[in-house]
Amino acid sequence: LTADNRPDVVWLHNAECTGCSESILRTVEPYIDALILDYISLNYHETIMAAAGHAAEKALWDTVDKGGFVAVIEGGVPTAPAGTAMEPGGHGKVGGHTMLENTTKVVEAAAATITYGTCASYGGVQKAAPNPTAAKGIGELFPGKAIINVPGCPPNPFSLVGTIVHFLTKGVPELDDAGRPVPFYGESVHDNCPRQEFFDNDQFAPSFGSEEARKGWCLRKLGCRGPETYNNCPTVKFNQYNWPVQSGHPCIGCSQPDFWDGKDWDGET
Ligand code: SF4
Ligand code: SF4
Ligand code: F3S
């Protein structure tokens, strides 16, 4: 990858909290300025692009018309009718068009689509019951399309940058049955958890903030879903420094297709 041969990337925001964009701003290999100025050509991103209004819309649709770009999608897509005209997807609009319309045009034209964050991958928080906007993840919305899912709430930027580099240099990485790249989601959180020796010895912290929890005992009986959750948090960490279980909070399964409504771990082992 060189500055002269940077691939076009467009990044759509749908129904989301922008936590996923916050996470990519914290990439360190490379840093965000090098990523968007030297490695890719980020032609459209509503929260960090310099352009606004019609100029921003033009940058998006010029890229789509040209084709051959990578689409990164953040957020679930509202599909329920809304507004006085009961327009499909009318709960969310950008530039006068529904997120449903914009996402459909972008995904149909993209050379590759990467969903960044569980909202985009599987619906996530946006799809939580009772889901009044009928929000959907991209895979559910476009069942025939080849989609690469980089889930998490938020994911680690390492996984997105690695996926983009892999796609541009070697093609689509091997995906698991949830559409996630195996190099970043091939092992469970439990597989690499530093509290695992306590799990193996049946030493479970009885409460948050207890002496046992501070000493590193396993958080399974406090609701940890690490054994059922595939992600690289224990090895990559957030900000290269910490991750939920290290800080004393159970993994809540944020990179799994059933997040947010999936059955909570009931504390039995
Ligand atoms: Fe926010 Fe989580 Fe959705 Fe990302 S996946 S946009 S962090 S709610
Ligand atoms: Fe596994 Fe969670 Fe216990 Fe870590 S805290 S060993 S991920 S069950
Ligand atoms: Fe999410 Fe569990 Fe990692 S909650 S951030 S997959 S530790």
Instruction: Check pLDDT > 60 for residue 269.
Output: no
Ligand that comes closest to the CA of residue 193: 2
Instruction: Check pLDDT > 60 for residue 268.
Output: no
Q: Percent of the chain at pLDDT above 70?
A: 96
First to last CA, the chain: 47
Q: Give the residue-averaged pLDDT of 94-117.
A: 97
User: Is the CB of 233 inside a 6 Å radius of any atom of ligand 3?
Assistant: yes
| Cα 257 to averaged position of ligand 2 atoms, centre (Å) | 19
Q: Give the residue-averaged pLDDT of 37-58.
A: 95
Confirm whether the ipTM is greater than 0.95: yes
Instruction: Identify the residues whose C-beta falls under 6 Å from ligand 1.
Output: 16-17, 19-20, 74-75, 117-119, 124-125, 153-154
Q: Give the residue-averaged pLDDT of 182-187.
A: 98
218-240 pLDDT, tens digit per residue, is 999 999 999 999 999 999 999 99
Q: Give the residue-averaged pLDDT of 187-213.
A: 97
Which atom of ligand 3 is found nearest the CA of 254?
Answer: 1
Number of Cα atoms under 13 Å in the Cβ half of residue 82 = 16
Q: Rounded to whole angstroms, how far apart are CA atoms 56 and 185?
A: 34
- Residue 196 is predicted with a pLDDT of 98
- Residue 226 is predicted with a pLDDT of 97
Residue identified by tokens 């940077």 is 6
Phi, psi of 234 (to 5 degrees): -65, -25
For residue 242, give the DSSP letter: B
Q: Give the residue-averaged pLDDT of 84-103.
A: 96
**Mutate which of 254, 264, 265 for ligand 3 pocket (most atoms within 8 A of beta carbon):** 254
**Mutate which of 204, 208, 222, 245 for ligand 2 pocket (most atoms within 8 A of beta carbon):** 245
Instruction: Identify the residues whose C-beta falls under 6 Å from ligand 2.
Output: 189-190, 193, 195-196, 199, 218-220, 224, 226-227, 245, 251
Which atom of ligand 1 is found nearest the CA of 17?
Answer: 1
Instruction: Check pLDDT > 90 for residue 193.
Output: yes
- Is-contact 39 4, C-beta < 8 A? no
Q: Percent of the chain at pLDDT above 90?
A: 93
125-145 pLDDT, tens digit per residue, is 999 999 999 999 999 999 989
Q: Give the residue-averaged pLDDT of 5-33.
A: 96
Instruction: Provide the pLDDT confidence category of residue 2 given band limits of 50, 70 and 90.
Output: low
- Residue 183 is predicted with a pLDDT of 97
Cα-atom radius of gyration of the chain, to the nearest Å? 20
| Cα 120 to averaged position of ligand 1 atoms, centre (Å) | 8
Q: Give the residue-averaged pLDDT of 72-91.
A: 96
The dihedral sign for the CA sequence 105, 107, 111, 115: positive
CA-nearest residue for atom 2, ligand 1, is 153
Instruction: Give the chain's mean pLDDT.
Output: 95
Which atom of ligand 3 is found nearest the CA of 255?
Answer: 6
- Residue 5 is predicted with a pLDDT of 81
Instruction: Check pLDDT > 90 for residue 181.
Output: yes
Q: Angle of helix 99-109 relative to helix 53-66, nearest 10 degrees?
A: 30
- Residue 58 is predicted with a pLDDT of 97
Instruction: Check pLDDT > 80 for residue 43.
Output: yes
